[in-house]
Amino acid sequence: MAKTAEKDDKKRGAKGAAGHAYDASSITVLEGLEPVRKRPGMYIGTTGPEGLHHLVWEIFDNSRDEAMGGYANDIEVALLPDGYVRVVDNGRGVPVGIHPKTKVSALETIMTTLHAGGKFGGEDSGYKVSGGLHGVGASVVNALSIHTVATVHQDGGIHRQEYKIGKPLAKVKKIGTTKLHGTIVKFKPDAEIFKEGIEWNLEKIVAHLRQQAYLVKGVRITVIDGRALAKVDDSDCFYLRDVTGFSAPSTAFYFEGGLKSLVAFYNKHQESVHKNIFYVDKDAEGVAVEVALQYVDDIMPRITAFANNTYNSEGGTHVTGFKTALTRTLNAYGRTTNLIKEKDENLTGDDVLEGITAVISVKLPEIQFEGQTKAKLGSMEAQGAVSTVFGEALGAFLEENPDDARSIINKVLLALKARKAAKAAKDSVLRKGALEGMTLPGKLADCQTKSAEEGELFIVEGDSAGGSSKQGRDRRTQAILPLRGKILNVERARIDRMLASVEIRALVIAMGTAIGDVFDLSKLRYHKIIIATDADVDGAHIRTLLLTLLYRHFRPIIDGGFVYIAQPPLYKITRGKAIAYAYSDKEKEAVLKELGVAANEIAEITESEEPIEVSEEEEVVTTKKPTKVNIQRYKGLGEMNPSELWETTMDPARRVLKRVNVDDAEAADRIFDILMGTDVASRKSFIQSNAKLANLDV
């Protein structure tokens, strides 16, 4: 019996559970660019909008690397009809000669082979410094595009090759002569890969390329939006802007000041503490270090870091070196000049970072990142290089600019005093056990589950909405926290003042993470924090105040995908026993049409809480009696009864939630500065510029 079972196990192991043989022939080998199309997310992160735009960054980065090497100073990026993108640089041009290993043109090798490029091999490679690590950029874009054309101007000749889904349609061919030099890559992403659509976000592209223009000073970057044109014939031209008769909106960037100009751009809505912007650009230990900084009258630090022009959202070793040198240098200068008295304690890292706007950029021949996303630099040599170069230069800057130095030291000393006051206030609250979760706020109607993954916290506006939502909720998983009125604007408020606010303290306690240096994301009590405010001006303001609080002091909660905005309906439409909800005016019209109300009569219907008589055309109805249609316009969540609130806003099976994401942290930071800061002129200008985009019910 045992032997029979053993034989059966061996057979099952050879053939598998389904009886299929598992042998050498079962191993699939993906050749060429097949892996890219099979698993595009491994190469561009996602096949959504972010991944789509990543294609532009990959091709642009090749041009930018030419500029970083000093071989190019003019790059043009154009959006064309039918989803095409065209990127041009006046660099050396991709080599077109026969590659000794692949036995085909180097251009074809780069465009059709993963891990092929001029960014390997150290000093003997085509680039001493580059943003790309793996040499997959052009080939990945080619693999994920339905059509690609690469044109090279080099050594007096124009060479071209076309591709379809990564495969060349013919060999590289010389098609003419030229006096120019550079590379043109034109591609159209494959809709079969990017199923959400080929929709380019011009603002996103402009913002990214503007940032790159600051990072590579002295390089002109032009963005052209030619999507509205009927057709663009670029077969015989280099730059589109030079074509006779070509007309399309364009934006150009050119900055000689480098990071110094970028800091000035970041601070244009801020009040600076000192006049001169600190700037250094110097090499040390084989690492190019560029740093610019300026303090502003604010409490939030803004540090932006780049390694080989790649944005490092999580910082890294270069940021560590910067912070160490900043704290050490300011303490030393303050003591030497007696601006920091003997009785005063030393400045800490938190003190010297308050209100700082700094940009750090390093360039290394061999670079290491922590993780696949390049969000954090891991190269240890960057830490020492930044610490040395920045520390020495900042010390000299303080000596040469005594007025600026005094303003900076006074700023950080004020931060030190405020930190002590905030710590005393926070410790007072902690001693009472409030932020440790020992005493949940009385207004919180908590849920029964102890599982954070299941728990949902609805933050609602006012007691009336709180009452309805408490009655309509699923008590097992849904908690309700009603807030009274508008919470404190925390854009410029310190923690001691924040914790003095009853509403903010209640929210902090309810979430369970604590705040400041004792913040702990693992203690978050709910994995869905849902902001449910009314669909009016006051509701929008309260939502903005809450988002400001979460963005400034609970950013990991947003980054973790735990924050949502509820979308309650605007209308309840009833006809007989049929009930429908509409979330916009357009949706209301569609619902009325579905319910059988004639299109030409929709305009005659007025919003009311009383039934309205609607006469209908003969072809629309089968009865001669007029049908009663009731359209109720909700002004707030408090107007809904518990059952309505449940089925429209709280029922997981039917509700509409929008997750809050921060796609561009720098842009989000500037928007919060404008909307919630003290620069009234900028806020007024922003409101006037965007007034037509607002959909408000006053």
> Catalytic site residues?
461, 534, 536, 538
**Cα 295 from Cα 352, distance rounded (Å):** 10
Tally DSSP H helices, then E strands, for the chain.
21, 23
**Cα 58 from Cα 468, distance rounded (Å):** 51
Neighbour-count burial of 203, counting CB atoms closer than 10 A to its CB (0-12 exposed, 13-18 middle, 19+ buried): exposed
Contact 523, 558 (CB under 8 A): no
Pairing of strands 167-168, 250-253: unpaired
**Cβ neighbours, 10 Å, residue 88:** 26
Residue among 191, 306, 237 nearest 76 (CA): 237
**Which amino acid would we find at residue 499?**
L
Q: SS3 of 572, please?
A: strand
**Cα 679 from Cα 270, distance rounded (Å):** 7
Task: Give the full edge-to-edge strand order of the sheet including 657-659.
Answer: 478-483, 456-461, 528-532, 563-566, 657-659
**Alpha carbon separation from 685 to 182, 243, 269, 682 (Å, rounded):** 41, 36, 11, 5
Pairing of strands 302-307, 356-363: parallel
Angle at which helices 202-215 and 259-266 cross, to 10°: 130
Instruction: Label each residue of 404-449 as H, E or C.
Output: HHHHHHHHHHHHHHHHHHHHHHHHHHHHCCCCCCCCCCCCCECCCC
